Structure 1
Amino acid sequence: MMKIKVENFGREFTLGIVLIVLVSFVQFINHSFISVRTLNVILENSAVILPSAIGTTLVIIAGQIDLSVGSIFAVSAITSAQLALKGVPMFLVILWSIGIGAILGFLNGIITVTFRIPA
C-alpha cells in the first residue's frame, strides 16, 4: 500500500480538494447541478477533446511534453469547419479532420526526432 507523507499531501491532492470544494459550492447555489443531465452535458462536451487528451497523456507519461497538440487540433478543426461550411459531406469532413491531424502529427514527430528538438 502506498504511503503518502504529510508534507506531500497538499501537493498530491490540491486539485482534487479544489474540485470538491467548487462542486460543493455550485451544488449549494444551484441544487440541480449534480444530476444526470449535467453529467450528460459534461460527457458530451468532453468527447470532443478526448482523443487529443488520450494522446497527450501518453506523451506526458513518456516523460515529454508536447505543446503542438493544441495547434494541430486547431488547424484540423478550422479546416474541417471550412469544408463543412462549403457543403462537403460530413463523412468526408470527419475523414479529412482525422487525416490532417495524423499527417501534421506525423510530420511534427519526424521533425522532432530528426532534429532532436525536445517535444
Structure 2
Amino acid sequence: MTPDPPESGTDEIFDVTGTLTKHEIIKDKTILGIAYADLDRNPIGDPYSATFNESYKAGVAFSVSASVPTVQLPGSYYIGVDVGDLTNDPEKPFDIHACAFAYVTGGSKFFNFKYL
C-alpha cells in the first residue's frame, strides 16, 4: 500500500495480489473490500468496495489496485482487505474467499504493521 503507513486525508493505493485455489473471481460480481476499524473493531469511516473488472479462474494469480480515501485515523487501528461474493443468505450476506487483516500502531514517524 502507498503511502505506508496510511496517512489520514490522502488516497491510499492498495495493490492486492494472490491466487484463490477454491473460488473463481467473476467480473462485475466478486468484490474487493477494504475497511479500517478501531481497536474495539468499530468501523472507521465507510468501507470501500468495488467489483473486479476481470474474471480469474481458481488457481490463476490475480492482481488489482484500488485507490481508497483515508479518513482520520487514530494512533492504532486495524485494516482489513477481503475478496468475496454477496449471497442471498441474510445470516451470511458475504462469502469471503480470501482476507488479510493488519494491526497498525504508532504515528507517521513510527509504526508497527502486524499481519493477523
Same fold (TM over 0.5): no
Higher relative contact order at CA 8 Å, sep ≥6: structure 1 or structure 2? 2
The structure with the largest strand share of the pair is 2
TM-score range, shorter chain: under 0.3
The structure with the largest helix share of the pair is 1
Higher CA-based Rg: 1
